[in-house]
Structure 1
Amino acid sequence: MAWRVLVMVGLLEVGWTVGLKNTEGFTRLWPSVGTAATMVVSIGLLGLAMRTLPVGTAHAIWTGIGVVGTVALGMWLFGEPATLLRLLCVGLILVGIVRLKLMA
């Protein structure tokens, strides 16, 4: 159950990170409210997952999912570059996430 929560929390991190872009520096009310609410839920559920998962593993996987998802959405939604080196780095993060999961 904790692993499922951790994956969901990682996806929430993607949501609030992309949401930060839409707040325009917290100058837009509703995107700011949505982003802040998603942050609170994300941190709360991360704490729930950490009841049974090692803190380092949980945090690394949470941020790893967030990084990979945010980079992918940045490329898709905001036209950020998808260079070979950038994709290779994202691939290395994915390998790290999988290895941490297998070791836990």
Structure 2
Amino acid sequence: MPFVLLGLAIAFEVTATLAMRASEGLSRLWPSLIVVAGYLISFALMARALTSLNVGPVYAIWSALGTVGAFAGGVLLFGEPVKPVTIAGAVIIVIGVVVMNLGGGVHQS
């Protein structure tokens, strides 16, 4: 169950980040409301997941998948450019998360 909560937290965080882009500097009401609600829900879900998971690896997973999700969403929704160096950066981030999890895992001892 904590991984489901983490997955939902990531989804809400990515949604909020993409809504921030759509809000045009928080000047559009509905996207701005999605930003606020998305981050509040995301933090609440992550806090709940952290009651049984280790903070370091969980934050690494959350930030890495959030980064990759925001990158993919920016490309798909806003036509942002895809460059080989950007893809390489995303791959490096994911590799870093895998290495972190090999070092101790995410479950609390």
Measured at CA, do residues 15 and 75 of structure 1 come closer, stay the same or move farther in structure 2, by a change above 3 Å? same
Tell me if structure 2 keeps the 8 A contact 1:6–1:62.
Answer: yes
Cα distance in 1 between the residues matched to 2:73 and 2:88: 16
Cα distance in 1 between the residues matched to 2:40 and 2:25: 18
Q: Which moved more, 1:73-82 or 1:90-99?
A: 90-99
Structure 2 residue runs without a partner (length 5+): none
Partner residue of 2:79?
Answer: 79
Partner residue of 2:58?
Answer: 58
Point out 4+ residue stretches in structure 1 off by more than 6 angstroms: none
Question: Normalising to structure 1: TM-score of the pair?
Answer: 0.90
Aligned residues: 104
Secondary structure at the counterpart of residue 57 of structure 2:
helix
Cα distance in 2 between the residues matched to 1:9 and 1:97: 17
Cα distance in 1 between the residues matched to 2:68 and 2:36: 21
User: 1:101 deviation in Å?
Assistant: 4.1
For 1:37-81, what per-residue CA distance to the aligned partner results, in whole angstroms no more than 9, with x for missing partners? Answer: 111000000100111111111111111111000011111222222
- Give percent identity, aligned residues only: 35
Matches within 5 A, 1:1-104: 1-102=1-102, 103-104=104-105
Question: Normalising to structure 2: TM-score of the pair?
Answer: 0.86
